[in-house]
Amino acid sequence: MLADGGTAHLRPVRADDAELLRSFYARLSAESIYYRFFSPHPQLTEREIEHFTTVDHDTRVALIATIGDAMVAIARYDRTGDREAEVAFLVEDAHQGRGMASVLLEHLAAAARERGLRRFVASVLPDNRRMTKIFRDVGYQAQQRFEDGIIELNLDLTPTETSLGVMTAREHRAEARSIQRLLFPRSVAVIGAGRDALSVGQTVLRHLLKGDFTGPVYPVHSTAKAVAGVRAYATVLDIPDEVDLAVVAVRADSVHEVVAQCAGKGVHGLVVVSAGFGETGAEGRASQEELVRLARAHGMRVVGPNCLGIANTDRSVRLNATLAPTLPGRGPVGFFSQSGALGIAILQRTAERGLGLSTFVSAGNRADVSGNDLMQYWEEDPATTAVLLYLESIGNPRKFTRLARRLGRTKPIVAVKSGRSTQGVPLGHAARALTLPDHAVSALFAQAGVIRVEDLSELFDVAQLLAYQPLPEGDRVAIIDNSDSLGLLAEDAATALGLEARRPVNLGPQAGPAEYESALAGALEDPAVDAVVALFTPPVIGGVDPGVAAAMVRKAEASRKPIVATYLGAKGMPPELRQPGSPGGGTPAYGSVPSYPAPEDAVRALAYVTRYAAWQRRPHGRVPESPGIDRIRARVLVAELLSDADGPVTATAGQAAELLDHYGITVADGDEGIPTRIVTMEDPSFGAVVSFGLSDVAAALLDDRAYRLAPLTDAEAAELIRAIRTAPLLFGHRGAEPVDAGTLERLLLRVSMLADDLPEVLRLELDPVMAHSSGVTVRRASLSLARPVGPRPELGPRRLPGSVTPAGP
């Protein structure tokens, strides 16, 4: 992914790339050539071409970037010493400034570290400020000296907190920009827009036109002169103007041809609503993979296939490129739905609830663009203050949890609980799916800051509160009602959900606007109250008192504490409970009061949001760097254990102990203490997971285990050992001597680092770990390994095709 949101394909150079290299070199400016070779060099000799395209992938490594069939950049290193290599780059002028050299440097550095190299050296002319800046900004420790008119740079390739931060920031900017290009197109082509008004293509076309898209819309049909009254073109190549976004609605067997035409046209992104791909079986999956390969090779992102489409309510674009006839109005909520089939119903219910959206993406088969990409975009989007996710599976679980943890600190994420399955795991690897108990799934979502709800109704309940009310600063709730029964229902629900409910204030059945306004003012001004539940039932069946609703809205507008309501006789968020600034007949404005059908619904939504607010306020700690960890030797050992394996491998006790030793963990006999159990597992839905509990029959029978995502922060490690129900046994229960909690926490941190570093570790079990007052002793360890399947864990460059397993330092 490049800085401007485009894509390029990176791979090792091959001997048959000679002609690509010649063409690439012929397009370079004299200045770019001079900066690379320090002298005029208008043409490469045959010997130079052979030298540049022939490498051994060890002492000499070269990578190229291609877009379509053209080479646009090349980077290489040549080993010059035991731990050192000289590095050089060359990027085509038309693609300079897109972040291509930075991406190539990341991959070259990863390849060098795998082969035992520790330093890159580079020679740069003083006038080549762009390349000097790339080396300085990468985040590695760098030294610089000036000699004989040349800047000599020396980069220490050891990853640092700064270099990892640079990599994360680059990835974030690139992926966010790629989604922005999809959601803010200047023009749209609908390919496959047929004459039939009920056809998929014409449906999307009509929705674009009806939504008043701000740019030109081009129907594409092989024979039609016009579709829905708009001039049509035989192919996208025949359109005389530029096309930013193409909606593809042709038969599956025609999609690849259409993608090639879009590439030739210079289209930036594709929304493929066509079905008949990965959802149909192995052949469809292969066709889907080829679709994405073709698109990405030519710089295009793909939404879908088999999707509902995308929408953006921003007034500067007004994009409704979906199959949904009803699109909610403008609002602060970003919505990602994996399901295309449910998408129409979801959008309809969103509109019925009066919930406004900023953007909506239905990813269907999620072959390319995923919820992770959208979270990158929404993190920076000022128009989005809350994020809703409907997920059936998580394609890249490690990345999802990393992004959710970061995004959730500033914007709430609400996800529907969906059935856990092996959908994110390729066929043939279902045995790798590790089932977690439901309480573990909830704990992992909560650790990542994700509000996990049970169904779509709860999703919208919570969204209404997050979109239009502030977060509570605590769990103390005041209840105001005009009916004892309503108040008691709310009080019971609050207590059951862990909120601290004050005794309900019953204003009596005849209470009107003045009484409610006075009671609300008192509750909101009370420093012992963090949120208010306002309940109103009209004294006459079917009667609605707009004055009471107006009183609620007035107090909500002036308060920094949330108000939720049950306004019997009103459905969703009625106009009476909306801010005066809300668009007439449209979506509510901030400060509108969400109304729920029953007190229990209102309190449940408030409880979800209260728990999230507590997570947001809580110190999250940091992942400390532990001394004595040798990640390179650990990776070499794992590679050796898997070198001849066709499937999962069970390591010997000695091999497990050797791997642990590389992380500063010793397996040994020791004094008796309280037996505990530490397990790491690679879960297909969440990635690396760490569990902790006591090592006894009762703990196993009662499933008294606590679960957290790796890597653990110091705060999370401390929280983990205290999260089990039997934790008091570790902390001096009934006068017993407390265990050394600090050492136990440090052991958990090292184990979690191992699990995060090595996705090949399918399961690592330390049982028993004896915890006593003077330390801990790992008595026994078992280890299972398997090659990772699915997306590569984050962060870091992917291993490139043609790379070799390192032989060790």
Q: What is the pLDDT of residues 332-374, one digit of tens each?
A: 999 999 887 788 888 988 888 888 999 999 999 999 999 999 9
From CA 744, how far away is CA 776, in angstroms rounded?
Answer: 6
CA distances from 417 to 316, 504, 684, 790 (A): 34, 32, 16, 22
Q: Reduced to 3 DSSP states, what percent helix, strand and coil does the chain have, rounded to the nearest 5?
A: 35, 20, 40
From CA 602, how far away is CA 499, in angstroms rounded?
Answer: 13
Three-state DSSP state, 237: helix
Pairing, β 141-147 against β 230-231:
unpaired
**Residue 675 tokens, joined:** 């037996």
Tens of pLDDT, residue by residue over 235-253, are: 999 999 999 999 999 999 9
Name the helix (H) or strand (E) containing 769: strand 761-772
From CA 299, how far away is CA 314, in angstroms rounded?
Answer: 25
- Sign of the Cα torsion 204, 205, 211, 216 reads positive
From CA 106, how far away is CA 170, in angstroms rounded?
Answer: 11
Peptide bond into 711 cis (omega under 30): yes
Q: What is the pLDDT of residue 802?
A: 39
**Residue 221 tokens, joined:** 């049909």
From CA 344, how far away is CA 340, in angstroms rounded?
Answer: 8
Extract the residue ranges of the chain whose pLDDT is less than 50: 420-434, 581-585, 792-793, 795-809
- Roughly how many angstroms between the first and final C-alpha of the chain, as a whole number? 31
Q: What is the pLDDT of residue 158?
A: 87
For residue 254, what is the DSSP state? G
From CA 62, how far away is CA 554, in angstroms rounded?
Answer: 66
From CA 593, how far away is CA 552, in angstroms rounded?
Answer: 7
Q: What is the pLDDT of residue 423?
A: 39
From CA 705, how far away is CA 308, in angstroms rounded?
Answer: 40
